[in-house]
Amino acid sequence: QSFKLLGFLDVQNVPCARESVLYGSLGSFVVGLGHFLATSRVRRSCDFAVGGFICTMLGYWFYCRYNLAKQRIRQRMLKEGMRNKLLFEGSSLDPERKQTGSERSES
């Protein structure tokens, strides 16, 4: 079953959404409890907890999405390199193939 946060964010299918919500709730708990233990003001501690949730969730969201984008770029480069290796293997354009003296003079 799919869980939608705020009615539009499908937590199960969107990358990094589940982890962001979990870390956000943990950050909310830590900030709210810490502020309450320091000041004993309930309402203000709840405000800090909401702020902690938003900051932690957005911070982890951007961190996770950045790493996901880097990983996808690396995968794309690796896929392109593998395709080029198969395409150029055994030809004169193969970088691993040692060129002989006669091949050097031709190029």
pLDDT in tens, 71-85: 999 999 999 888 877
Please indicate, yes or no, if residue 72 is contained in any of the structural domains: yes
| pLDDT value for 101 | 52
* 89 CB-contact burial (10 Å; exposed 0-12 / middle 13-18 / buried 19+): exposed
| pLDDT value for 5 | 66
Domain count for the chain, please give it. Answer: 1
- CA distances for 16 relative to 2, 46, 53, 78, 84, angstroms: 15, 26, 15, 23, 32
| pLDDT value for 14 | 77
Please indicate, yes or no, if residue 41 is contained in any of the structural domains: yes
| pLDDT value for 57 | 92
Please indicate, yes or no, if residue 23 is contained in any of the structural domains: yes
Residues of the chain with pLDDT under 50: none
pTM of the model: 0.69
Please indicate, yes or no, if residue 103 is contained in any of the structural domains: no
| pLDDT value for 89 | 73
Please indicate, yes or no, if residue 104 is contained in any of the structural domains: no
Domain that holds residue 78: 15-87
| pLDDT value for 30 | 96
Please indicate, yes or no, if residue 95 is contained in any of the structural domains: no
- CA distances for 28 relative to 10, 17, 20, 37, 89, angstroms: 21, 16, 12, 14, 55
| pLDDT value for 104 | 56
